Amino acid sequence: MTNMRNLTKCLLVTLTAATVTLNGCDSFEDPIGGSPAVITAGFTVVDADGNHIPFDGTGSGSTWTVPTIGGICDDTGAPGAPGFFFVKFNKLLDGYAIQTDPTDCTPVAALGLTFNPPAPAGSTWYACYNPQSPNPNEGASVVIYQAPSATLAIPPSAGWVDAAPIPASGIALTDINVAGTAHDKDGAAASFDVTGTILPDPGAAGLDATGVVVTQTTVQLTWTASACNPAAEYKIERAPNNDHGTPADPDDDAPGTYAQLGTTNVTTLTFTDTGRTAGTKYWYRVTSRTVIGAVEYPGPSAEIDATTSP
């Protein structure tokens, strides 16, 4: 993800015995006095086009919770959210109390970073200090993310390693917790404890007119599976036709209000709507659905119309 590499070219501050030297691109020229404190925390999803989509957390002090993170279909088929946690502080921190050095985002012992669950096989949790992010949601942040273990060291000119998706468990909500203690240049400490809930996006179901069979009283729909990740079930909806046709444009129709007809399990990709009126147009759509509370991802499939036989 190129945007991760380009977030900043200077990850750390440099300390000397008597002075504080910035890396030349840090906008915090006069560190705020007093102890460090968390201003906000959250999770930023990076989509397939490199766009940053922040999910801001709620909380106070050291404890923050990020609501359901998802709705991003990256066409990889891997359930999860590609991106990173950010914990934003009110003042400049000591980068060397966060990561090993400017070319290695391995968290140092002073950070005391813990994470649950552990990174999957082949991946590692990393922590970078980002004193000047181009995104105001993330500025002056400790940035925590997963990436392949083989990319542990990175040249300073490259910026960041690619972040791997934070995994989710199939179609279930998955809580990810990261916690640690950051320090400022005087050694004053501020702890953070952030929990984010990851939900994979199944993507849209593939409903189109080629999958429709009609009789006088029935409409049978057939669709393809959700585009990205497994869906829990599919919700089928029907709307009446609003006839806006005119002599100049007799086909100027539109769906009315949709109502749910029913659901099918993830392996059933067909639904038959019975009891219809002969010679009547109806509209249909299918939504790839999770069954976690009221959350549904993403929007429905393309809507289609079907007219029963006269």
Q: Does 216 lie in the same domain as 148? A: no
Spatial contact of 81 and 72, defined as CB atoms under 8 Å apart = yes
Nearest to 230 by CA among 275, 297, 151, 174: 297
Show pLDDT as tens, one digit a residue, over the chain (310 residues). 333 333 333 333 333 333 333 333 333 434 556 789 999 999 988 777 777 888 999 999 999 999 888 777 766 666 677 788 999 998 888 889 998 887 788 899 999 999 998 888 888 888 988 775 545 555 568 999 888 776 554 444 344 455 666 766 667 778 899 999 999 888 999 999 999 988 878 888 999 988 899 999 999 999 999 888 788 899 999 999 987 655 555 567 889 999 999 999 989 999 999 999 999 999 999 999 887 766 777 778 999 999 999 9
Same domain, 276 and 168: no
Which of residues 180, 198, 216 is at a domain's end?
198
Together in a domain, 216 and 85: no
Whether 23 and 45 map to the same domain: the answer is: yes
pTM greater than 0.85 (yes/no): no
What's the CATH code of the domain at 265? 2.60.40.10
For residues 162 and 210, state if they share a domain: no
Show which of 198, 233, 264 is a domain's final residue. Answer: 198
Of 124, 132, 117, 107, the C-alpha closest to 182 is 107
Give the count of domains, the chain: 2
Q: Give the pLDDT of residue 165.
A: 66
> CB neighbours of 27 closer than 8 A, spacing ≥ 6?
131, 132
Instruction: Report which DSSP code applies to 62.
Output: T
Structural domain for 283, as ranges = 206-307
> 120 and 14 share a domain?
yes
Would strands 189-198 and 63-69 be described as parallel, antiparallel, or unpaired?
parallel
HSE value, Cβ hemisphere, 13 Å, CA-based, for 51: 8
- Do residue 185 and residue 255 come from a single domain? no
170 shares its domain with 238: no
CA 270 – CA 265 distance, rounded (Å):
10
**189 and 286 share one domain:** no
Domain boundary among 198, 233, 248: 198
